[in-house]
Amino acid sequence: MTDAVPVKPAATVMLLRDSGEGLEVFMLRRTNAAVFAGGMYVFPGGKVDEADGEGDEGFVIAAIRECYEEAGVLLAVDAEGHTVTDGHPALDHREAVYQGHVDMRALVAEHGLRLATDQLAWVAHWITPKGEGSRRFDTRFFVSACPAGQKSHHDDNETIASMWVRPAEALTKWSAGELALMPPTVANLQFLDAHHSVAEAISAARAVGIPPCILPRLRIVDGQFTGIILPGEPDYDLFD
């Protein structure tokens, strides 16, 4: 299968928190009108912009920026290493960052902060299959603890609902057809479900090192799409 759709770099962050019932992750529902993943529940994320930079740093900055834009959570710390909390003036520029009028690096510098790039752990790497649609992404998935003093909320623009959910609960709802999830989201929820706390999940993510790149393929039979095939599955090499 040939595909002329360019692959764009993207980044996603799984915000984590501990609760009385165990580890929870923040998820957003994308608007049904979205060109990519419409109606799906996802983690905050999006494509790497030119202003985010290049290479490894660009992915991390993009993850932090998208987290701010879509979840309203700014992963930044002050000179003493304290995380930003609700009421901080740096949190007043969410829309301006989304519109591209304010640069993330300039925003934190203005308020004597630094982006908490060291708090993100790269845990997974997926590329959208050929033939998936009009957009393809080379996406890095990160995990990070959600700052305790910040409330998360969806943007009511690209995303129309949000929730904190235990990974096991999200997977159960997905299995029952109650939650629309993409294969990378399912795989990352399964990773999280194996851990009982934020510290444990982040430690496991850091232990991954450089994650292997996962490139799913579309199973097309008689011109009809019948499912996604992952590397290692028996018929993976039969479809390209």
For residue 221, what are the β-bridge partners?
224
pLDDT above 60: residue 98: yes
Sequence-distant (6+) residues with CB within 8 A of 54 are none
pLDDT value of residue 234:
86
Q: What is the mean pLDDT of residues 203-229?
A: 90
pLDDT tier, 75 (very low <50, low <70, confident <90, very high otherwise): very high
- pLDDT(60) > 80: yes
Amino acid at 50: E
Average pLDDT score over residue span 90-101: 93
| pLDDT above 90 coverage of the chain, percent | 74
What's the rounded mean pLDDT across residues 32-55? 84
Structure tokens at 36: 């990519």
The predicted-structure confidence for 161-186, as pLDDT tens digits, reads as follows: 899 999 999 999 999 999 999 999 99
Q: Of 64-68, 168-172, 221-225, which range is least confident? A: 221-225
Residues with Cβ within 8 Å of residue 11, at least 6 apart in sequence? 45, 46, 48, 59, 60, 62, 63, 66, 139, 140, 141, 142
The whole-chain average pLDDT of the chain stands at 91
| Angstrom distance (rounded) from CA 88 to CA 185 | 32
Q: What backbone torsions phi and psi does residue 205 show, to the nearest 5 degrees? A: -65, -45
Average confidence (pLDDT) over 63-87 = 94
> Which spans in the chain are helix H?
55-71, 94-99, 104-110, 167-175, 183-193, 198-208
69 CB-near residues (< 8 Å, 6+ apart): 44, 46, 94, 97, 98, 155
Q: What confidence tier does 1 reach under pLDDT thresholds 50, 70, 90?
A: very low
| CA-wise closest residue to 130 among 213, 7, 9 | 7
Other CB atoms within 10 A of residue 63 CB: 31
Q: What are phi and psi of 125, to 5 degrees?
A: -145, 115
Q: Name residues whose C-beta falls within 8 Å of residue 210's C-beta, 6 or more positions apart in sequence.
A: 122
pLDDT digits (tens, 9 = 90+) for 118-149: 999 999 999 998 876 678 899 999 999 999 99
Distance CA 48, CA 205 (A): 21
